[in-house]
Amino acid sequence: MMKTSTQKRNERIWSTIRDIPPGCVASYGQIAEIAGIRRGARQVGYALRHLPRGHDVPWFRVITASGKIAFEHGSDAFNEQAKRLMMEDVAILKGRVDMKKYRWQPDLDELLWKPSDAWDDE
C-alpha cells in the first residue's frame, strides 16, 4: 500500500521526536526543521494530534519555542505533560521549561548517521 505524503511527513516527524533523549525538550519548529519541513511547526502539532494508539513517540518532549507547555495551564493534558517531563528531571517553573538548559541540541553526526528507515519514500 502506497503511503500518502501526509503519512510520510508524519512518520518523519514522529521519528525525529523519538530521537529526543530523555531529559531534553525540543520546540515544534525545531522538530520541523530537523525533519526537513520548512516552516512546519503547525504540521508537527498536526502529526502529534494524529498519533496512532499504542505509539512509542515521546510527545511530551515537544514544547513551544519559548519553553511553554502548549496546553492550557491546569488542563489534564498540561498536567500529564508536566508530570512526564518532571519524571525525566526536566524542571518546570510557571508552566515553562528553561530552553537554554533543556533544549535538545543534536550534533551533526547524530543527524547524519541516523538510521534512514523512516525517511524512505517507498
pLDDT tens digits, 31-48:
999 999 988 999 999 999
6-13: long-range contacts, CB 8 A cutoff, minimum separation 24: 8/121, 9/35, 9/37, 9/43, 9/47, 10/46, 10/47, 10/50, 11/118, 12/36, 12/37, 12/118, 12/119, 13/37, 13/43, 13/44, 13/47, 13/48
Cα dist from 74 to 69, 81, 84, whole Å: 11, 11, 15
Q: What pLDDT does 114 receive?
A: 63
13 vs 119: CA distance, rounded Å: 10
SS3 label, residue 64: coil
The reply to whether 117 falls in a domain is: no
What residues make up the domain containing 95?
A: 5-102
Residue range 44-63: mean pLDDT, rounded: 96
Counted domains in the chain: 1
Q: pTM score, two decimals?
A: 0.86
The reply to whether 121 falls in a domain is: no
Residue 61 has pLDDT above 50, yes or no: yes
The reply to whether 120 falls in a domain is: no
119 vs 105: CA distance, rounded Å: 21
Query: Hey, how many other C-beta atoms are within 10 angstroms of the C-beta on 47?
Result: 28
The reply to whether 89 falls in a domain is: yes
Residue range 49-74: mean pLDDT, rounded: 96
Provide the CATH number for the domain around residue 11.
1.10.10.10
